[in-house]
Structure 1
Amino acid sequence: MMRTSRLAAIVAAVVLSGSGCTVIPVSGPYTVKDEGPGDPLSKSFQRMIPIPPQKTWGPDETIRGMQAAMAAYPDDPSILPLYLTPEARSKWSPAGPVTVIQDAYEVVPAPSRDGTETVQKITINGRYVAVIAEDDSYTPMAGAWDKPYDLVKDPQGGYRVNSLPSGLLLTDSDVRRAYRPTNLYYLNRNTQDRLVVDRVRLRLKTTETFAQTVLERLLKPPSTALEGAVATSFPPGTTIESVRSGEERVVINLSGAIDPLDLSTEDGLRAQIRYSLNKNEVAKGRIIEIQVDGEPYYTDRPNSDEHWLDDSGGSGYYVAKGAVHYLAKDGPGGVVAGAAGEARDGYSEFAVSKGGTPTVAAMTSTGISVAGLTAEGKWQEVIQGTALTPPTWNRDGSLWTYDRKNSVLLRYDPSNGRGPERVAAPKLAGLDVTRLRIARDGVRVAVTTGKNTVQTCALTGEGAGTMLGNLQALTTTEAGKGITDIAWADDEHLLVLVESEAGQILNEINVGDGESTGVPLKDRLESVAALGDRVLAEVQTKGVSKLLELNQDRQTWTTKIDPDAGAPLFPLG
């Protein structure tokens, strides 16, 4: 953690936040006692311990010392003001987004005329890494970050900073040391049968366990990416009274207007707590006992059956000569029942719903048609249009597309017997929408605009008030590159296939924080489909198609079907 050789007093201390408790099983209430460091509900981290500005420091050391004091500010706010003049202290506020820059930044002083100036102008030259917003969302940034500062000579020696933008400036190492990527779980607003993940960056605290930090944040609204799109089972005014742990049990004591007789609240509340703790590797494998005002509310066992994130049961499919085939464990399984299993020309961009009896949708020259995967299933055109994006299914059974010619988002619900309905999507107005894919959580939507940009949205509101909002940029390719295909792997990760003159790139992007992982390619892919860890891709060689599957090592591919295997499909996504 050394900032410069003359900042030897700035050291990193290893801190285990909070203290643990052991729960002693007895017949009745549980007795707890302090256990000290090593609490399974905590995460170890390094805490910056800054020192005040020194009389012998020049501008470079003063700026670096000030930045170190910023990194320590949430734990010790007393040091940073010592670096500021009274004027700067009166104006500066820690509130606002946290700016994250690369570790290697430069402090560049303006040329001195004769060395007698009392004000030294300097510039910090760095590179953006990210911005952590006030809602704890983490957004990667790129490009140069340059800020000017005025330093005033102190009559007693050294310098003080006379102008300072509000907010904290941290290095990438500061964030990696003190923050943790964290998944919070809320409920799908419309169906409330599915959890929706909200990925944020939470700062570890010396005053509480990480489990308590997670739960305290879970009581707050989601990040702006999911604003208006998700719900919570926690009634307003709910507070965390305590979080205690032992080898086999975690005891969470809540207070607030929680109705012990409301089973719907109970089911959602325990699911939000369990997944928000377990997916962040705190309380994993332990019984979670939830209390309300010290009284037993619910005991959640780690192996209890859950449906909240279950995407299993989704068979794989592929298209060959216009006919839909289903995949067996080791290869082709045969054609599906009904008209969808018959070879035909003019049908493309297939999509499969999920349910007891799946339905397949496909584009034609006049619109989008659907057919049930039953022996009686016939093709029926349900949305007309000559400039539609490929169809995508929602988990509620509705079919969606964007009419590029009329700039409207369309939703077709087979259950109501009516034609397609328009859904408000004001943020898409004026954009060249080329693809639209709804995630399996029924909330997030990935949209490609033009040839080079992927953005994410969310379905907000309820019923007739449903709209597509919360538009945020996810990734943009460079000039000369184009996006060939996108596919949801799970609720967090989107596969993006990029084409360029130099070859193809397949990236798996976490839509919550933009972190990207490249998937090695050997063959040129035509399309991709994914479901959890399974990734299928179509390859064409001299007009012959084959199907590949990504191996568990995420580095190599194995041929699944060769020849005559076209575009792969998974339900939803």
Structure 2
Amino acid sequence: MTRISRLGAVVAIAAAVACAGCSVIPVSGPHAVNEAGGGDPLSKPFQRMIAIAPQKNWGPEQIIRGLQAAMAAYPDDPAILPTYLTPEALAKWSASGPVTVIEDGFEVVPPSPRDGTEAVQKVTLKARWVASIKEDDSYVPTAGGWSRSFELVKDKQGGYRVSDLPSGLLLTNSDVARAYRATNLYYLNGNTQDRLVVDRVRLRLKPTETFAQTILKRLLEPPTSALAGGAVTTSFPPGTKIESITYGDERVLINLSGPLDPLDLTGENSLMAQIRYSLNKNEVAKGRSIEVLVDGEAYSIDRPNSDERWLDDSGDTAYYVSKGAVHLMGKDGPAGAVPGPAGEQREGYSDFALSKESNALIAARTSTGISVAGLTREGQWQEVIQGTDLTAPTWHRDGSLWTYDRKNGFLLRYDPAGGRGPERVAPPKELKGLDVTRLRIARDGVRVAVTTGKNTVQICALTTAAGGLMLGNLQLLTTTEEGDEIRDVAWGDDEHLLVLVDSKAGQILNQINVGDGESVGVPLKDRLKSVAALGDRVLAASDDGSKVIELNQDRQTWNVKIEPDAEAPLFPLG
């Protein structure tokens, strides 16, 4: 193994940026010289922005463009930005706060002859607002225009300086693409603690440390606000620190310090899972064994072929509904009705939902409430939640059944193992007065998709801050245009929600990353009524209820799986 005391970033090819006051040069640092093909497996390629100080002959527009370049360079070189500010502005300015991200082609509106004098100029920067990177590293997309006015004054040397600058950094899309990486961190489900939950952040690459160090340092911190309030927890006890990370051809060696208990096997397993997924899912150290030391002493080893149970064990069998009866879906088509009453045709049952396969229960909505049946010959339909205006049922991975009582404005949770009726759960205050139309719990048992009205999807989390499960951390995911209507939503995996929209121009199916709002459109041919997904598999029911189709691996075309009389596809949970 090659031991390295400090690993710099692997660099990309040098590029030049044609803008006033900035350029991009390659950044290099110590790296493993014995690695054939070049490349530190613990880092990511990036380029550093190099800004220059304002020049005496620059006009107001050049000053503003140079200032923006200096903000892009600030985390790596904080010395240039102060040269653009007056002493008074510098005394008030701070880099802390959300990062504002704007489109590359921003416009600098020059001062008008009536607005200012030669000694004092007012300039406006206009752009399309792309996103904010919050202080917890979460990436929040935005929309619409953005503008900021700057007052420039001449100093004693005859050059312009900015007299006031709001705190925080202003970056372009290209700045973020160059210096940040979308990163998945993995925490433990705060309720069951048997499942990893992904938290997507934007992390800035640093020339002074490897990307592996950056990831693990952030993993030791609390999750983003989307998963606050006990929605997730961690196996790293307070006080844990990363002392070093080194690597060889076949292994990565992580030396930690802190109050880790070598006798806590459960904590060891979950801690190693958090490390492995946070590194490997970001393509860092992939294929290498991960060895963890505590204060230089052996703690645990994680092999590349370790099991995947930390991400999904809900089952992967596909089902579909035909004339009120639930059927199994085989590889090439129908595989027969499920046993018991759930596999028998009946009217008045709709919006079927399936629990984990290890304890398979089917739920359906009726005109008087929600009924449940076991997928066995002895199973019987039983109404477990009463109500005439309930959302479609959705299962939690702990075996409980959830719905929203639209008439009375609260959540209902029914636990089949509890032996008593449903309990009320207070919804977030932000939902009060809103028309809640759907509720879908993700397979991680933490995130919840909530649709309100006809055209809005919000993401919540099941928190445990008050000693029991509560719905909180409400955040907007997407809103359709006026007149459009959301037809269905379905969890593909813990990160992605499928949203089916009836629009004026036709149907739209988008796969949206709930961590940063990134959306990918799925081509459609037939009009769809509903969708279901599990990982890479996407199923849909045609609008006329005649067939179930499946999205091909090319993500462009669909194949017919079941016809005729195939009303709705189902996967466990989601």
TM over 0.5: yes
Cα distance in structure 1, aligned partners of 2:339 and 2:30: 59
Quote the offset at 1:305 in angstroms. Answer: 2.2
C-alpha displacement of 1:20: 4.3
- 2:518 alignment partner in structure 1: 515
Given that residues 109 and 122 in structure 1 are in contact (C-alpha distance below 8 angstroms), is that contact kept between their aligned partners in structure 2?
yes
Of 340, 359, 362, the match for 1:360 = 362
Partner of 1:244: 246
Query: Are 2:434 and 1:434 equivalent residues in the alignment?
Result: no
Aligned ranges 1:42-441 → 2 under 5 Å: 42-113=43-114, 116-227=117-228, 228-311=230-313, 313-427=315-429, 428-441=431-444
1:484 alignment counterpart: 487
> Which of 454, 457, 473 is 2:457 aligned to?
454
Map of 1:28 onto structure 2: none
Alpha-carbon deviations, 1:245-274, whole Å to 9, x = none? Answer: 111110000000001111111011100000
Describe the shift of the 1:353–1:517 C-alpha distance in structure 2 as closer, same or farther (beyond 3 A): same
Matched residue SS, 1:88: helix
Asked if structure 2 preserves the Cα contact closer than 8 Å seen for 1:127 and 1:145, the reply is: yes
Structure 1 partner of 2:4: none
Do 1:505 and 1:519's aligned partners in 2 also have CA atoms closer than 8 Å? yes
Secondary structure of 2:175 counterpart: helix
Residues 323, 342 of structure 1: 8 Å contact kept: yes
Alignment counterpart, residue 541 of structure 2, candidates 534, 538, 555: 538
Q: Kindly tell me: are residues 319 and 110 of structure 1, through their superposed partners in 2, closer, same or farther at Cα, counting changes over 3 Å?
A: same
In the alignment, the residues of structure 2 paired with residue 571 and residue 447 of structure 1 have an alpha-carbon distance, to the nearest angstrom, of 19
Q: Distance in 2 between matches of 1:187 and 1:21?
A: 37
Counterpart of 1:26? none
Aligned mates of 1:99, 1:355 — CA distance in 2: 45
Q: Which amino acid aligns with 1:435?
A: R
Structure 2 Cα separation of the partners of residues 253 and 3 of structure 1? 40
Closer, same or farther: CA 328–5 of 1 in aligned 2, 3 Å: closer
SS at match of 2:389: coil
Name the SS of the counterpart of 1:545 in structure 2. coil
1:506 — aligned with what?
509
Q: What corresponds to 2:11 in structure 1?
A: none
| CA distances 1:416-449 after superposition (whole Å, capped 9, x unpaired) | 1010001121332222110000000000000000
* Among candidates 11, 20, 23, match of residue 11 of structure 1: 23
Q: Which deviates more, 502-511 or 350-359? A: 350-359
Tell whether the 8 Å contact from 1:93 to 1:167 is kept in structure 2 after alignment. Answer: yes
Contact 1:410 1:420 in 2 (8 A): yes
CA distance in 2, matches of 1:504, 1:17: 51
CA-CA distance at 1:513 after TM superposition: 0.3
> What is aligned with 2:3?
none
SS of the aligned residue for 2:473 comes to strand
TM-score in terms of structure 1 length: 0.95
Once structures 1 and 2 are overlaid, which stretch shifts more, 105-114 or 214-223?
A: 105-114
The structural deviation recorded for 1:306 is 3.3
SS in 1 for 2:27: strand
SS in 2 for 1:213: helix
Q: Partner letter of residue 73 of structure 2? A: A
Shift of 1:571: 0.5
1:4–1:61 contact (8 Å) kept in structure 2: no
- How far the C-alpha of 1:115 sits from its partner, in A, is 8.2
8 Å contact from structure 1 (residues 411, 422) kept in 2: yes
1:43 Cα deviation after fit:
0.6
Q: CA deviation at 1:37?
A: 6.8
CA distance in 1: counterparts of 2:400 and 2:102, whole angstroms: 43
Shift of 1:511: 0.2
CA displacement at 1:314 relative to structure 2: 2.1
* Shift, 1:42, TM fit: 0.6
Q: What is the one-letter code of the residue matched to 2:159?
A: G
Q: Give CA-to-partner distance per residue, 1:275-320, whole Å, 9 cap, x none.
A: 0000000010001010000111011110122310134632111111
Query: Does 2:498 match 1:495?
Result: yes
Q: CA RMSD in A?
A: 1.7
How far did 1:157 drift?
2.6
2:17–2:23 CA contact under 8 A, matched in 1: no
- Structure 1 distance, partners of 2:569, 2:310, is 26
Structure 2 unmatched ranges of 5 or more: 1-14
Matched AA of 1:475 = T
Residues 16 and 44 in structure 1, CA contact (< 8 A), matched pair in contact too: no
Deviation at 1:110, TM superposition (A): 2.6
3-state DSSP of counterpart to 1:356: helix
Quick check: 1:60–1:107 contact (8 Å CA) kept in 2?
A: yes
Residue type of the partner of 1:381? E
What code does the residue aligned with 2:289 have? I
Q: Which residue identity does 1:337 align to in structure 2? A: P
AA at the equivalent of 2:216:
L
Conserved? CA contact 1:69–1:80, under 8 Å: yes
CA deviations on 1:312-336 (whole Å, 9 max, x unpaired) are: 6321111111111110111001111
Q: Would you say the 8 A contact 1:196–1:441 is kept in 2? A: yes
The count of residues paired between Structure 1 and Structure 2 equals 558
The offset of 1:105, in angstroms, is 0.6
CA distance in 2, matches of 1:476, 1:282: 35
Distance 1:484-1:136 versus aligned 2 partners, 3 A rule? same
Q: Distance in 2 between matches of 1:17 and 1:438?
A: 45
Residue 559, structure 1, aligned to residue 560, structure 2: yes
Report the CA distance shift for 1:328/1:440 in structure 2 as closer, same or farther (over 3 A). Answer: same
| Worse-superposed segment, 497-506 or 114-123 | 114-123
Letter in 2 for 1:349: D
Instruction: Provide closer, same or farther for how the CA distance between residues 406 and 116 of structure 1 changes in structure 2, counting only shifts above 3 A.
Output: closer
Q: What are the superposed Cα offsets for residues 128-157 of structure 1, whole Å, 9 maximum, x if unpaired?
A: 010000000001111000111101122313
Task: Return the letter of the residue paired with 2:108.
Answer: V
> How far apart, in 1, do the equivalents of 2:388 and 2:93 lie?
56
Evaluate the alpha carbon distance shift between residue 257 and residue 120 of structure 1 in structure 2; reply closer, same or farther with a 3 A threshold: same
**Structure 1 residue aligned with 2:477, among 474, 477, 481?**
474
